[in-house]
Structure 1
Amino acid sequence: MAEIERESMEYDVVIVGAGPAGLSAAIRLKQLDADLEVVVLEKGSEVGAHILSGAVLDPSGLNKLIPDWKEKGAPVTVPVTEDKFFLLGEEGKMSIPHWPMPPFMSNHGNYIVSMGNVCRWMAEQAEALGVEIFPGMSCSEVIYDGDRVKGVVAGEFGKNPDGTPGPGYEPGMELHGKYVFLSEGVRGSLAKEVMAKYDLSKDSCPQKFGLGMKEIWEIDPEKHREGRVEHTMGWPLGSNAGGGGFVYHLDNNQVYVGFVVHLNYKNPHLFPYMEFQRWKHHPQIANLLEGGKRVAYGARAISEGGFQSMPKMVAPGVALLGCSVGMVNVPRIKGNHNAMLSGMAAAEAAFAALGEGREGDELSDYETEVREGAIGQDLWKVRNVKPMWSKYGLGGSLVLGGLDMWTNQLGFSFFGTVKHGKNDAQMTEPASHHKPIDYPKPDGKLSFDRLTNVSFAATNHEESQPCHLRLKDESVPVAVDYKSFAGPSQRYCPAGVYEFVEDDSGPRFVINFQNCVHCKTCDIKDPAQNITWTVPQGGDGPNYPNM
C-alpha cells in the first residue's frame, strides 16, 4: 500500500490519554507557562468513558496539582468514615484489626470517588487553562524522527476489515510534539511499542498484573453507610489465585462492588469473572446487595509489579506516565495519586528542558523525580508485598509483608528487594496439571452471566473495521492454547470476547471484538503471548458513566 499522506499539527507537548496522569501533565504545563501549546488525545468517546478504578483516592496528588480543588467543585465529596478489612471463609468471616498495619495503610483522609468523574472535572480545568482536548481520537501509530519519538497518528477512520482503506476512509492526522507523553493506562499499545523499541524493561523485573472487575449497585437505603470502605481476602480464591474484593459506599445509596484477581495464577481453568460472581454470594456481600439493583459493569487490568517492575520511563522525545510505567501501591490498592504526581513531574521536566532550548532529548530529571521523590518513596516501602504474596501465599504475605512494611519505615528490610520471576503469561501451567473448577450458574439476581453484564458497560465497536485484537499466528489458539491449556482465553476475558466453537472440522477460534471493554487482559495472560491488543477506531469501546 502506498504511503499515506496526512496533514500535521505542531505542539510543544502531545499527550496520549486523558486519565489522571495525562490530564495532570497538561494542567501543570499550562500552570508553568500559559503560552505552551499542549494537546491531549483520548480514545474514549468522551473524557472518562474508558476510566475505571476502585476508587478510594489519596488526595495528595490533587492537593499538589490544584490546592483549591474543593472550592473549584471537584467531585471528591465522600470522605472515608469507616475502614474494614475481612478475611473470608465460605460462610464466615474474620475481621482483621488495623493496629498491626503501618499507619500509611489507613484510609483516614481519603475519599471514595468516581475517577471517571474526577477526570471529567480535570478536563474542564485543563481546557480553562487553554489545553486542547480531543476525545474520540485513537492514537494508532508512533512517529519517529531518526532515533527520537516525534509524534503520533490520531483519528484514522474507515478501514475495511482487512485493513485497507474503505470508501469513507479518513487517514487521520500527525500530531508532532517537542515531547510526547504516553499516559495510556495499563498495557497501552504505543507504550508497549516504545518500551520494546528502546528496550526500556531490560533492567527491571517483569511487570505483574491483576484483573479488576467492578459493578455499581443501588442498594436499600437502610443498608447504605456513606463513606464505609470494606476490603476482603480469602474465599473464594483460596490457594488458586491471589486477590480479593472491595465494597465502597459512595453517596446516593450507591456502592462500588469489585473484585481483583492477580493474573499470575497457574490453573488455566480458573475463571476470574465467575470468581467475582461467586464472591457476591458470600453472606457478607449478599446481605448487602439483596433487594438492590446493579446499574453498571466494567473491567480493567491493574499494574501490580511495583517499584522493581518499573521500566526506564524515558527515551528521546518521549516519557511514559502513570500506569504506562506501573505506579500502583498494591497493599494500599491506590495508584491515582501517583499517576497525578507522575504527570506533574513529567510536565516540570519538559518545561525545564524547553526553557533550556533542549528539544526531543531524554527527560532524565523526570525519571529521577519518580524514582527518588514521593512516588518512589511510596512504592519502595511496599515493594516486597506483591512478590511475597506470589511466593508464600496469602498468610505468608500478611505476616512477612506486614513485617517488611514496618521495617521499611525505619529504613531497612530483612529481605532486601524480593524479585518477581516469570511474567503472568509464563505462570500459566498446562491444563493437565490441574483440575477443572466447577462454578455455580449465575442466578440473575446477585450474579450474572458475562454477556448480560457487558451490556451494562455500554461497549460498542463499529463492526466493519479491522479487529483490534490481533493474532501473531492464527494457528496458535487451537494448536497451543486449546490443546495444551484448555483455551484459557474463553475464561480470562471478562467480556466474553473469545470462544472456541466446535464444528465438524474441530474447534475453531472466534473473536467477538465488539464485546471488548479494553481491559488488556488477553495481551497480558495469553500463554503463548500470541494476542496483541491495539486501539480500535476512536470513540469505540465502553462508555462508563461514573466508574
Structure 2
Amino acid sequence: MMTYDLLIVGAGPAGLSAAIRFKQMANAAGKELSVCVLEKGSQVSAHILSGAVIDPIALNELIPEWKEAGAPLTTPVSDEKLSWLTQNNSYEIPAWLLPPVMHNQGCYIGSLGELCQWMGNKAEELGVEIYPGFAAVDLVYAESGAVAGVVTGDMGLSQAGEQKLTFTPGIEIHAAYTLIAEGTRGSLTKIAEEKFGLRDQNRFQKYGLGIKEIWEVSAEKHKPGLVEHSLGWPLNDDTGGGSFLYHYGKNLVSIGYVVHLDYANPYLSPFEEFQRFKLHVKNRALLEGGKRIAYGARAISEGGVQSLPELVFDGGVLLGCAAGMVNVPRIKGSHNAMKSGMLAAEAAYEAITAGRTHDRLEAYQTKLKLSWIWQDLYGARNVKPYLSTFGTVLGSFAAGIELWLGRFGISVPWTLGHAKPDHLSTKPASSFQPIAYPKPDGRLSFDRLSSLALANIGHEHDQPSHLQIKDGAKPIEINLKVFDSPEQRYCPAGVYEIVSDNHAPRLQINAQNCVHCKTCDIKDSKQNIAWVTPEGGSGPNYLGM
C-alpha cells in the first residue's frame, strides 16, 4: 500500500492542472504535501485526443509564464470559417452572423497531447509523482464508507484469468482525497456515480464520437492559424455533427468529424461518414498529395450543465470530462477541465491543511459554480437540446438566437432537458435501408485496420478482455435480429464482428483493436457492453494528438 495526501486518477488537462495547483500552493507555504497521479496509458498523453483549438484562459491562471516556459502552443488562431456543405458545394456562412462565443480569437491551435506532456514535466518539477502504465480499476473505502483511494489492476493475467509468469498484483493507493479525472465515460466515474448516487435518472449524459486524423500537407496549401468548421453533408439534417480542419505547426492539419451519438439509423457508420467527408471537393483539394500521419477516436461529453452529476462525494470529486464540461457550440472543454482541476486542488489543499480528510469537498462545487466555468457552460446549456429536438438547420438557428441574446446579457428563463439517453435513440433496422459507403481509395479515404496502424496500439493479446458482455444472448437475439448489429459500424476500430460458425452467428470481439473511445459502452441499445480498464499501458499511444 502507498499513501499520499492527494491522489489524482488521470494525467489529462484536468488531472495535471490539479496536481500543479496543489503543489504550487503547498510549496509556496513550505508544506511537504505529496501528490500522486496515476495514468493508465503507457505515458502521459498516450490516450489524449482533442481537436484541438485551445482557449488559454486557464493556462494563463495556472502558469502565467507559459509562453516563456516553452509550452507547445505556438500557432495562434488568425482566421476562421464556418461552411454549410452539400455533396458538391460549400457555402461559407458570414462570420458576422456567428455569435461571439463561437469565435476563436485569442485561442491557439496545437496538440493537447503535447501540452499534457509539457504540463507533466512541469508537475514533476514541482514534486508531483506521476505513474504511467497503472490503471485504477476500483475505489477503496474507509470504514466510514468514504473513498480512501484506489486499487490498481493486476498485471500478467492470461485471457482465462490465470496468473502468468509475469504476474504482478495490483496495489492499493490511499490518500486524504481522490480526484477522478479519467475523461469521458470513465469506469471509476461510473462506480462512484452508482455508489454515491451522483446521477439521477433525469441527468443522464449525452455524447458525440470524435474521429481525427493528422495530415502533413504541401507548404503552398498550408495556412497556419486557419480554423474551419462545417455542418451539413455528409450527415442528414436529423443527425447532429460536423467537421473541423485546423492548420498549425509545420504543414500540419488536424482534420476530424464529430457525430452526435443520439442518431437513429443503425446502419450509420461515423467512421465511414468521416472518410466520405474527406472526399468532398473542398477537402480533396487540400489533402491531395498530402500524407496521413496519425489517427484516433474518442467519445465527447455533450450534455452541458443539465447533465452534470453531483460533483463531490465523501473522499473525492469528479473533474473535467469525467463530469462532462464540454461547451458544445465552442467545441471546447480543455479550458474548463483545467480550471476544474485547479478549483478542486484549492478545495483539497484547504481541507488538508485544516486537518480534514475523506469528507465532502463542498468548497469545490461552490467554487465551480462561482467561476467562469459555470458561466461558460450555463450560457450554452440549450444548444444541444435544440439540435437534438429540431435538427441541424432549425436547431442551429434557435441556438444562434439564444447565444446572441446572451451576448447582450439576456438570459432566457428556461433550461431544456434532454429527451432520452443516446442508447435509446437507435431505431430498428427495419425502418432504414443500408447505407452504401464508397470503398476506400487508399489515398484520401481508408479502412479501419490501416487506420489503426497510425494509432500505435499496444495491447497484450493474452489478457482478460476489457470489453465485457453482460448477457451473452443479447448480441444475437437483440442487436443482430433487431438492429443488424450496429456495433460493427459505430465502433471506429473494428472491434466488433458478427461471424458464423457452422451457420450460427456469434459476436467476435477483437479487443486488441480498441482505441478506448468508449462508444460501445455508450451506444449499445441494451447497455450490454461494459468498458473496463485493461492491463495498464494498453491501448493507443497517440503521437501529437
TM range (shorter): over 0.9
Match of 2:530 in 1: 532
Confirm or deny: 8 A CA contact 2:239 2:392 kept in the other structure: no
Helix, strand or coil for the counterpart of 1:270?
coil
Confirm or deny: 8 A CA contact 1:460 1:515 kept in the other structure: no
Confirm or deny: 8 A CA contact 1:22 1:343 kept in the other structure: yes
What whole-Å deviation, never above 9, does each CA across 1:311-332 have from its counterpart, x for those lacking one? 1011000110000000000001
For structure 1, which segment, 101-110 or 254-263, has the greater mean C-alpha deviation from structure 2 after superposition? 101-110
Match of 1:420 in 2: 418
Q: Does 1:115 align with 2:112?
A: yes
The partner residue of 1:295 within 288, 293, 296 is 293
Match of 2:121 in 1: 124
Matches within 5 A, 1:382-531: 382-414=380-412, 416-531=414-529
> Residues 242 and 132 from structure 1, CA distance in 2 versus in 1: closer, same or farther, beyond 3 angstroms?
same
Match of 1:165 in 2: 163
Confirm or deny: 8 A CA contact 2:56 2:107 kept in the other structure: yes
For structure 1, which segment, 277-286 or 432-441, has the greater mean C-alpha deviation from structure 2 after superposition? 432-441
What whole-Å deviation, never above 9, does each CA across 1:2-30 have from its counterpart, x for those lacking one? xxxxxx01101110000000000000000
Instruction: Please report the RMSD computed on the Cα atoms of aligned residues, expressed in angstroms.
Output: 1.1
Q: Does 1:213 align with 2:206?
A: no
Q: Does 1:26 align with 2:19?
A: yes
The partner residue of 2:135 within 135, 138, 145 is 138
Match of 2:76 in 1: 79
Q: Does 1:352 align with 2:350?
A: yes
Confirm or deny: 8 A CA contact 2:206 2:302 kept in the other structure: yes
Confirm or deny: 8 A CA contact 1:181 1:318 kept in the other structure: yes
Confirm or deny: 8 A CA contact 2:237 2:393 kept in the other structure: no
> Residues 527 and 65 from structure 1, CA distance in 2 versus in 1: closer, same or farther, beyond 3 angstroms?
same
State the 1:101 CA deviation. Answer: 2.3
For structure 1, which segment, 500-509 or 257-266, has the greater mean C-alpha deviation from structure 2 after superposition? 500-509
Aligned partner letter, 1:53: S
Alpha-carbon distance in structure 1 between the residues aligned to 2:301 and 2:289: 34
Identical residues among aligned pairs (%): 54
Alpha-carbon distance in structure 1 between the residues aligned to 2:256 and 2:413: 32
What whole-Å deviation, never above 9, does each CA across 1:407-447 have from its counterpart, x for those lacking one? 23444444611111211001111111222111111111100
Confirm or deny: 8 A CA contact 1:205 1:421 kept in the other structure: no
Aligned partner letter, 2:328: V
Aligned partner letter, 2:139: V
| TM-score (normalised: structure 2) | 0.97
Q: Does 1:64 align with 2:42?
A: no
Confirm or deny: 8 A CA contact 2:515 2:540 kept in the other structure: yes
Alpha-carbon distance in structure 1 between the residues aligned to 2:402 and 2:390: 14
Alpha-carbon distance in structure 2 between the residues aligned to 1:119 and 1:80: 20
Helix, strand or coil for the counterpart of 1:222?
helix
Alpha-carbon distance in structure 1 between the residues aligned to 2:537 and 2:506: 30
Aligned partner letter, 2:473: S
Q: Does 1:182 align with 2:180?
A: yes
Helix, strand or coil for the counterpart of 1:484?
helix
The partner residue of 1:319 within 317, 320, 342 is 317
State the 1:333 CA deviation. Answer: 0.3
State the 1:251 CA deviation. Answer: 1.4
What whole-Å deviation, never above 9, does each CA across 1:272-320 have from its counterpart, x for those lacking one? 1000000000111111000111011000000000111011011000110
Alpha-carbon distance in structure 1 between the residues aligned to 2:98 and 2:353: 45
Match of 2:85 in 1: 88
| TM-score (normalised: structure 1) | 0.97
The partner residue of 1:49 within 42, 46, 50 is 46
Aligned partner letter, 1:258: G
> Residues 203 and 267 from structure 1, CA distance in 2 versus in 1: closer, same or farther, beyond 3 angstroms?
closer
Confirm or deny: 8 A CA contact 1:246 1:259 kept in the other structure: yes
Alpha-carbon distance in structure 2 between the residues aligned to 1:405 and 1:120: 35
State the 1:202 CA deviation. Answer: 1.3
State the 1:167 CA deviation. Answer: 3.4
State the 1:203 CA deviation. Answer: 7.1
Q: Does 1:14 align with 2:7?
A: yes
Alpha-carbon distance in structure 2 between the residues aligned to 1:199 and 1:434: 38
Consecutive unaligned residues in structure 1, runs of 5 or more: 1-7
Aligned partner letter, 1:242: G
What whole-Å deviation, never above 9, does each CA across 1:436-476 have from its counterpart, x for those lacking one? 11111111110000111011101121011000001111111
State the 1:503 CA deviation. Answer: 3.0
> Residues 81 and 410 from structure 1, CA distance in 2 versus in 1: closer, same or farther, beyond 3 angstroms?
closer
Match of 2:224 in 1: 226
Confirm or deny: 8 A CA contact 2:100 2:407 kept in the other structure: no
Confirm or deny: 8 A CA contact 1:206 1:421 kept in the other structure: no
State the 1:113 CA deviation. Answer: 1.1
Confirm or deny: 8 A CA contact 2:213 2:255 kept in the other structure: yes
Aligned partner letter, 1:72: A
Confirm or deny: 8 A CA contact 2:266 2:428 kept in the other structure: yes
Confirm or deny: 8 A CA contact 1:75 1:121 kept in the other structure: yes
Alpha-carbon distance in structure 2 between the residues aligned to 1:155 and 1:430: 38
Alpha-carbon distance in structure 2 between the residues aligned to 1:224 and 1:22: 34
The partner residue of 1:331 within 323, 329, 332 is 329
Confirm or deny: 8 A CA contact 1:303 1:328 kept in the other structure: yes
Alpha-carbon distance in structure 1 between the residues aligned to 2:99 and 2:234: 27
